[in-house]
C-alpha cells in the first residue's frame, strides 16, 4: 500500500527542500512511486458545436485518490492526450497526479478511439466546448472541491494536441485555475507552414511529412481502426459510406489538408481555418497561470511556438513560466532527470494555483542540455540551468561568429527528389539525432559557408540569425538554412535536426542584384566546443518539406562573401540535478560508513574481551537455538518464555498476531537489542550485540534502504564494501540468481517497483550466502505472482545446509513455504513444530448439507461449537467444533431433518492459528 496523500506530499516537499538548499533556486524531485487511487470509466454525453446543441459521447476515465469523498473533497485536473491517442495514452501521468492528491479526468477526444464525433483540430466550438462540458461534469461531482457553485478547482494539463486544448480551454473558460501545456503550438498555420524570414504562413514552406503523419493518423481512425469505435458509430460510418480519403476528419479540415498537400501552398482560407484552432488569437484572454514546457528536440512544434505563447500570455499580466527540456516530438520524453524536473515543476505549479498550497512558484526560466552518457545504466545525462527572467529567443547576450565562402550554384531537383534528410518526423526517441550525425547534405544541392575554429567553448541558448543572398531564374526559391557544429575530424552535427525553411519571391536572376535576407534559425540549446567550426548550409530540398516541382539552379551567397552569425546565449545558474544531489549524499554516506565501521570494530573488540567465545558443543551445528528468551521494557514484558530452534534445511515461520512479540524476538536475534534474560546460540556461539557470529546471518528486519539513484547492483556492491569483507566472498552472482532479479539489477532503484525493491533487499540479505537467513515480512506489498516467486526463492535458499527464519502474517504463504512453524501469542510460544503437525490439530471441519442456512442455525445453538459460517454455495458449511465430537455435530443435524452429504476435516494453518491464539489476542501493535 502506498503512503497516504499527506505522506506523499511531505515526501515531495522534503525532496524539494533538500534541492533548494543545494541549488538555491529551481528544484528537481522524484515523483511518488506508488499512488493510491481508484478509477471509474464512463461515457459522458455532451453537447457542443457552434450552437452548443450537437450531442457527442466521450469515452472517459476518472482517477480518484483513495479517501476522496463528499466530506473529503479534492481538486481536479483535466488531462488531455496527444493527436491520435486515446484516454489510455494518459494513464501513467494520471496515476502520478492522483498519487499527489488530484482527481484526474482523462478522455478520448472526439474523432478518436471509442469517442464519437469528428476531428476539428481543437476547434473552440467542438473539442474546446467538449472540455468545457467536462468541467461542468467535474463541478457536479461530490468529491471535487469548488471555488463556487459550478466552478471546480481545476487545472488542465496536456501535451501536443492536448497542450493546444489546454491553452484554448484556458482562454475560453475562466474556471480554469492553472494550465500546463507541453510541446504544443502557438499558430497552427505557422507551425505547419513555417517561414523563417517572418513573412507568415501564406508564404511558408509546407511540412508535408509531419502533416501527412497527422492526417493519416486521423483518417485511419475512421477506417482501419473502426474496431476501436462504438459499434453504432462504426455501423453508421459504413452505412453512410465514410470517405476513405478523410476518415473521421471534419469535411472542412479534410478539404484544407488536401488543398495544401496538392499545391504545397496555403491559401487564406486554409490559414484562417488553422488559426481558428490556434492559441495565438486568444492569448490575451488567458487568466490562468500557465507553465509552458517545450522540447529542444522538436521539428514539429519548436521552441519558437512556446516563446510566442509566453510573450502573448505575459503581456496580459498572467503569471507565466517557461521550461525547456531535452525531448519533444523527435526526442521523446527526454532523459529521466528532465522528466523528474518537469514533473516537479508541474506539481509545484498545480499545488499552488489549484490546491492553494505552497509558496508562489518562481517564474524563472529553466533549460537543460545533454552533457554525456552514464555508462553504468546507459542513461543520458543532462545538466539544468535557471535564469531569473525568461529572455526569449534572443538570449540575455549574444556572440558573433563570422562564416565565409564564395558564391555557389545549387540545384533544385525535380519534385524535390532526391532530398536531404535532416530529421525523421514521427520517429521520436532520439532516432532523428542519430540520423543527423550520419546524413549530410546532397552534393550539388547545397552551399556551405564556414567559420574558423573557435578559440573558446560557446553555449547557444536561443535562435541564431544569419543573412544570406539568393538568385533564381524563376524569380522564386525554397531554401533550407542549417547551422552545423563541425568537430576537428569533420563530423557535422545538426542540433535536433532543426532547420530554417525559407520561401523567397521576387528574386533577381543575377546574384549581384540580390539583396541580403535575414533568416532566423530554429532556437536550440547546444554547446560548441573550442576547436570546432560552425557551418551554415543552404540546401534546396529536404524530405520533410514540400518544394517546387520544377528543376532549377539557384545561386546562393552571403553578403560580401562573409557574414556574421549571431548566436544568443544565456548566463544561468546550474540547477542541482539528481547526479549532483547524490554526489553529496554519497560523500556523506561514505563518511558515515567509515565512522560506523570504526565504531563497530572498537565495540566488537571490547565485547570479545568480555564475552566467552567458546562454542556450545550441543548446538555447534544448529543455526539458531533460543532458550528462555525474555525482553522487558520497564514494566512491560514484550517477550517471555520463548524457546525454539532452527535447524539446517528448515524454513521456519514465526507467526503471531500484532503485538505478539515477533518483531521484538527478531530484533534480539539480530543483536539489535539485548535480551533481559535467556540465551541465544548461533552455531553454538552465544549471541550478543556485535558478536562475530553475526557475520553468518543475513537479515531483512526493519525494511530495505537503498540509494535510489544507484542501480541495484551498485547498491549491493556498496553494501558489501561497507562490511569490509573481500568482494570475492560476496557470492554476488549466486545471490542474484536465487533472488531472480535478472537484468533489472542494472536499473536504477528509483525506477524499481515495490516488489523489485523487496527482491533486491532479499538479494542483499543473501550476500555471502549466510548460513542463516532472517526475514521480517519479505512478501510485504508484493502481488500474488511476486509472492509465489518469493516462495520459490526461500525454498531454494534452504538447501546445502542453510536455514531460513521468516516472520509473516500471510498464513497461506507460510503453510506453502515453511517446513516448521513457531506460533507466538502475548509474548510466549503457544505451539511449535512441523507445519503438518500444527495443521493437524485444527478443530475445523467442512460439512456439505442439503440446506446450509438452516444447518448454520442449528449448529450455532449447539453447546461447544465455536463458530459456523457458510462458504461458497448454499450447501457448504465451515464449522469450528472446538473439540465437540464430529458424530455429535452430524447427529444434531440429522435430528433437525437436515441431510448431511459429506464431512471432511478442514486442515488449514489459518484455522489452527485462530484456534491457538483465539479471536481477541491481538495487541496494539508489533512488539
Question: C-alpha dihedral over 12, 17, 23, 27, to 10 degrees?
Answer: 20
d(CA 574, CA 382): 11
- pLDDT at position 31, please? 42
> How far apart, in whole angstroms, are the C-alpha atoms of residue 299 and residue 287?
29
The residue that leads in pLDDT, 395 or 726, is 395
108, 81 Cβ separation under 8 angstroms: yes
Distance CA 592, CA 175 (A): 52
Residue 292 has pLDDT above 90, yes or no: yes
Residue whose C-alpha is closest to residue 544's, from 587, 588, 501 = 501
Q: Which of 390-404, 558-572, 826-840 has the lowest mean pLDDT?
A: 826-840
**Measured between alpha carbons, how far is 479 from 206 in angstroms, rounded to an integer?**
12
Q: Is 35 helix (H, G, I), strand (E, B) or coil?
A: coil
Alpha carbon distance 882, 323 (integer Å):
69
Pick the residue with more confidence: 595 or 909?
Answer: 909
The pLDDT assigned to 587 comes to: 46
Position 475 confidence tier, pLDDT thresholds 50, 70, 90:
very high
Whether pLDDT at 43 is above 60:
yes
Number of residues assigned to the chain: 927
Query: Residue range 386-395: average pLDDT?
Result: 94
What's the mean pLDDT in 441-461? 94
Mean pLDDT over 609-616 rounds to 56
Instruction: Say which range, 253-267, 270-284, 453-467, 707-721, has the weakest mean pLDDT.
Output: 707-721
pLDDT of residue 25: 32
pLDDT, position 609:
44
* % of the chain with per-residue pLDDT over 90: 43
Averaged over 382-403, what is the pLDDT? 92
Which regions of 570-623 does DSSP assign to beta strands (E)? 573-575
The larger pLDDT score, comparing residue 747 to residue 908, is at: 747
The more confident residue out of 894 and 402 is 402
Question: What is the rounded CA–CA span in Å between residue 856 and residue 904?
Answer: 17
pLDDT single digits (tens) 622-679: 888 988 888 887 777 888 888 889 999 899 988 877 777 787 888 787 767 778 888 8
Span 807-817, average pLDDT: 75
> Beta strands of 710-817 (E only): which ranges?
772-776, 803-807
Average pLDDT over residues 79-85: 94
- The pLDDT assigned to 914 comes to 67
Q: Are 619 and 625 in contact (CB under 8 A)?
A: yes
Q: Looking at residue 585, what is its pLDDT?
A: 41
Instruction: State residue 871's pLDDT score.
Output: 73
Instruction: Quote the pLDDT of residue 565.
Output: 96
Q: Report the distance separating Cα 362 and Cα 67, nearest Å.
A: 31
pTM of the model: 0.62
Q: What is the b/e burial string over 572-607, where b = at least 16 CB atoms within 10 angstroms of the residue's CB?
A: bbebbbbbbbbeebeeeeeeebeeeeeeeeeeeeee
User: Is the pLDDT confidence value at 680 over 90?
Assistant: no
Comparing 108-122, 210-224, 898-912, the range with the smallest average pLDDT is: 210-224
pLDDT of residue 381: 57
pLDDT, residue 233, reads 40
Instruction: Give mean pLDDT, residues 692-721.
Output: 77
Which pLDDT score is estimated for 448? Answer: 96
pLDDT at residue 223, as a whole number: 35
How many CA atoms, within 13 angstroms, populate the side-chain half-sphere of residue 60? Answer: 24
Q: What pLDDT is attached to residue 923?
A: 41
Provide the pLDDT for residue 234: 40
Residue scoring higher pLDDT (698 or 280): 280
pLDDT of 278: 96
Give 428's pLDDT tier (boundaries 50, 70, 90).
very low
26-35, 238-247, 757-766, 910-919: which has the minimum mean pLDDT?
A: 26-35
Sequence-distant (≥ 6) Cβ neighbours of residue 75 within 8 angstroms: 101, 102, 103, 144, 145, 152, 153, 154, 155, 350, 354, 355
Residue 597 is predicted with a pLDDT of 54
Mean pLDDT for the chain overall: 81
Residue holding cell 543527423?
436
- The rounded distance, in Å, linking the Cα atoms of 13 and 6 is 10
pLDDT at 14: 36
pLDDT at position 537 over 80: yes
Q: What is the pLDDT of residue 879?
A: 82
Amino acid at each position: 500500500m502506498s503512503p497516504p496523500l499527506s505522506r506523499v506530499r511531505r515526501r515531495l516537499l522534503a525532496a524539494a527542500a533538500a534541492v533548494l538548499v543545494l541549488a538555491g533556486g529551481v528544484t528537481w524531485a522524484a515523483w511518488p512511486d506508488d499512488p493510491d487511487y481508484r478509477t471509474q470509466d464512463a461515457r459522458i454525453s455532451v453537447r457542443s458545436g457552434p450552437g452548443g446543441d450537437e450531442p457527442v459521447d466521450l469515452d472517459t476515465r476518472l482517477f480518484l485518490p483513495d479517501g476522496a469523498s463528499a466530506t473529503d473533497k479534492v481538486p481536479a485536473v483535466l488531462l488531455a492526450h496527444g493527436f491520435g491517442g486515446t484516454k489510455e495514452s494518459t494513464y501513467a501521468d494520471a496515476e502520478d497526479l492522483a498519487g499527489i492528491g488530484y482527481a484526474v479526468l482523462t478522455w478520448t477526444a472526439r474523432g478518436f478511439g471509442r469517442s464519437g464525433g469528428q476531428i476539428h483540430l481543437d476547434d473552440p466550438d467542438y473539442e474546446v466546448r467538449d472540455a468545457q462540458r467536462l468541467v461542468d461534469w467535474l463541478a457536479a461531482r461530490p468529491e471535487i472541491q469548488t471555488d463556487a457553485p459550478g466552478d471546480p478547482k481545476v487545472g488542465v494539463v496536456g501535451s501536443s494536441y492536448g497542450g493546444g486544448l489546454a491553452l484554448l480551454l484556458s482562454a475560453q473558460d475562466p474556471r480554469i485555475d492553472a494550465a500546463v501545456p507541453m510541446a504544443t503550438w502557438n499558430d497552427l498555420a505557422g507551425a505547419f507552414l513555417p517561414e523563417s524570414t517572418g513573412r507568415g504562413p501564406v508564404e511558408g514552406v509546407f511540412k508535408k511529412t509531419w502533416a501527412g503523419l497527422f492526417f493519416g493518423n486521423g483518417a485511419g481512425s475512421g477506417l482501419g481502426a473502426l474496431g476501436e469505435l462504438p459499434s453504432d458509430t462504426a455501423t453508421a460510418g459504413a452505412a453512410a459510406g465514410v470517405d476513405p480519403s478523410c476518415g473521421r476528419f471534419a469535411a472542412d479540415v479534410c478539404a484544407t489538408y488536401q488543398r495544401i498537400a496538392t499545391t504545397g501552398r496555403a491559401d487564406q482560407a486554409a490559414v484562417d481555418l488553422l488559426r481558428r484552432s490556434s492559441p495565438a488569437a486568444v492569448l490575451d484572454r488567458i487568466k490562468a497561470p500557465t507553465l509552458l514546457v517545450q522540447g529542444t528536440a522538436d521539428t514539429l512544434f519548436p521552441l519558437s511556438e512556446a516563446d510566442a505563447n509566453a510573450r502573448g500570455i505575459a503581456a496580459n499580466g498572467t503569471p507565466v513560466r517557461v521550461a525547456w527540456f531535452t525531448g519533444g516530438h523527435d526526442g521523446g520524453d527526454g532523459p529521466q532527470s528532465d522528466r523528474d524536473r518537469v514533473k516537479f515543476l508541474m506539481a509545484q505549479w498545480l499545488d499552488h494555483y489549484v490546491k492553494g498550497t505552497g509558496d508562489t512558484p518562481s517564474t524563472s526560466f529553466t533549460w537543460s542540455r545533454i552533457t554525456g552518457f552514464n555508462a553504468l545504466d546507459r542513461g543520458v545525462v543532462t545538466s539544468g540551468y535557471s535564469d531569473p527572467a525568461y529572455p526569449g529567443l534572443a538570449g540575455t547576450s549574444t556572440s558573433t561568429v563570422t562564416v565565409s565562402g564564395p558564391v555557389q550554384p545549387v540545384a533544385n531537383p525535380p519534385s524535390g527528389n532526391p532530398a536531404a534528410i535532416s530529421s525523421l518526423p514521427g520517429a521520436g526517441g532520439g532516432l532523428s539525432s542519430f540520423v543527423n550525425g550520419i546524413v549530410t547534405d546532397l552534393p550539388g544541392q547545397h552551399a556551405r559557408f564556414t567559420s574558423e575554429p573557435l578559440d573558446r567553448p560557446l553555449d547557444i541558448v536561443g535562435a541564431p540569425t544569419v543573412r544570406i543572398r539568393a538568385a533564381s531564374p524563376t524569380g522564386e526559391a525554397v531554401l533550407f538554412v542549417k547551422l552545423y557544429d563541425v568537430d576537428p575530424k569533420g563530423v557535422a552535427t545538426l542540433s535536433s535536426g532543426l532547420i530554417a525553411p525559407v520561401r523567397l519571391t521576387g528574386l533577381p536572376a543575377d546574384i549581384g542584384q540580390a539583396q541580403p535576407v535575414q533568416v532566423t534559425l530554429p532556437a536550440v540549446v547546444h554547446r560548441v566546443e573550442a576547436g570546432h567550426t560552425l557551418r551554415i548550409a543552404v540546401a534546396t530540398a529536404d524530405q520533410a518539406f514540400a518544394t517546387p516541382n520544377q528543376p532549377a539552379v539557384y545561386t546562393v551567397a552571403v553578403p560580401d562573401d562573409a557574414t556574421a552569425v549571431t548566436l544568443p546565449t544565456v548566463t544561468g545558474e546550474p540547477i542541482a540535478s539528481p547526479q549532483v544531489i547524490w554526489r553529496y549524499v554519497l560523500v556523506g554516506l561514505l563518511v558515515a560508513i567509515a565512522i560506523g565501521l570504526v565504531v563497530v570494530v572498537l565495540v566488537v573488540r571490547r565485547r570479545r574481551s568480555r564475552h566467552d567465545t567458546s562454542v556450545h558443543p550441543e548446538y555447534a551445528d544448529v543455526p539458531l537455538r533460543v532458550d528462555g528468551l525474555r525482553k522487558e521494557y520497564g514494566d512491560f514484558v514484550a517477550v517471555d518464555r520463548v524457546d525454539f530452534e532452527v535447524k539446517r534445511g528448515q524454513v521456519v515461520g514465526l507467526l503471531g498476531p500484532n503485538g505478539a512479540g515477533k518483531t521484538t524476538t527478531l530484533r534480539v536475534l539480530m543483536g539489535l537489542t539485548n535480551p533481559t534474560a535467556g540465551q541465544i546460540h548461533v552455531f553454538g556461539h552465544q549471541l550478543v550485540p556485535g558478536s562475530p557470529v553475526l557475520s553468518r546471518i543475513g537479515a531483512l528486519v526493519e525494511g530495505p534502504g537503498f540509494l535510489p539513484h544507484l542501480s541495484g547492483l551498485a547498491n549491493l556492491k556498496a553494501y558489501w564494501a561497507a562490511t569490509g569483507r573481500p568482494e570475492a566472498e560476496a557470492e554476488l552472482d549466486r545471490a542474484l540468481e536465487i533472488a531472480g532479479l535478472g537484468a533489472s539489477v542494472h536499473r536504477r532503484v528509483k525506477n524499481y517497483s515495490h516488489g523489485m525493491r523487496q527482491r533486491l533487499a532479499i538479494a542483499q540479505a543473501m550476500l555471502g550466502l549466510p548460513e542463516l537467513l532472517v526475514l521480517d515480512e519479505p512478501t510485504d506489498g508484493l502481488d500474488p505472482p511476486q509472492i509465489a516467486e518469493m516462495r520459490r526463492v526461500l525454498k531454494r535458499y534452504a538447501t546445502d545446509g542453510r536455514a531460513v527464519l521468516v516472520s509473516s502474517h500471510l498464513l497461506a504463504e507460510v503453510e506453502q513455504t515453511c517446513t516448521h512453524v513457531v506460533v507466538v501469542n502475548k509474548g510466549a510460544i503457544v505451539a511449535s513444530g512441523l507445519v503438518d503437525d500444527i495443521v493437524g490439530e485444527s478443530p475445523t471441519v467442512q460439512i456439505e448439507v442439503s440446506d446450509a442456512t438452516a444447518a448454520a442455525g442449528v449448529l450455532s445453538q449447539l453447546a461447544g461449537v465455536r463458530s459456523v459460517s457458510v462458504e461458497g454455495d448454499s450447501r457448504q458449511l465451515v464449522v469450528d467444533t472446538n473439540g465437540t465430537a464430529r458424530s455429535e455435530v452430524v447427529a444434531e443435524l440429522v435430528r433437525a431433518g437436515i441431510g448431511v452429504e459429506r464431512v471432511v476435516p478442514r486442515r488449514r494453518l489459518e484455522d489452527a492459528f485462530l484456534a491457538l491464539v483465539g479471536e481477541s489476542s491481538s495487541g496494539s501493535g508489533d512488539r
